[in-house]
Amino acid sequence: MNSLDEIFAQLERSSFRNRFHLRVKDRTYLDHKGLALILKHAQDFIDKRLAPAHPKNDGKQTPL
């Protein structure tokens, strides 16, 4: 398993990742709201809007 430092070093060299940057408006919003609140909103978004990892009836056919 790679250490976090190695993982972040690999991410820094990623050409795909290097195409994304925060705009001034986004950075200002982040500075104003704080990282903790942004992460809380992201977790809330994931919990409410994305499908659960293990749905209750997954793999069961709908009865005729």
At residue 1, does pLDDT exceed 60?
no
Phi, psi of 16 (to 5 degrees): -65, -50
**Domain assignments of the chain as residue spans, ordered by start:** 22-50
**Rounded Cα distance, 18 and 15, in Å:** 5
**Exposure of 21 by Cβ count < 10 A (0-12 exposed, 13-18 middle, 19+ buried)?**
exposed
At 8 the pLDDT is 86
* pLDDT, tens only, 6-49: 988 998 899 998 898 889 999 999 999 999 999 999 999 998 88
**Rounded Cα distance, 4 and 8, in Å:** 6
Give the predicted TM-score (pTM) of the model.
0.55
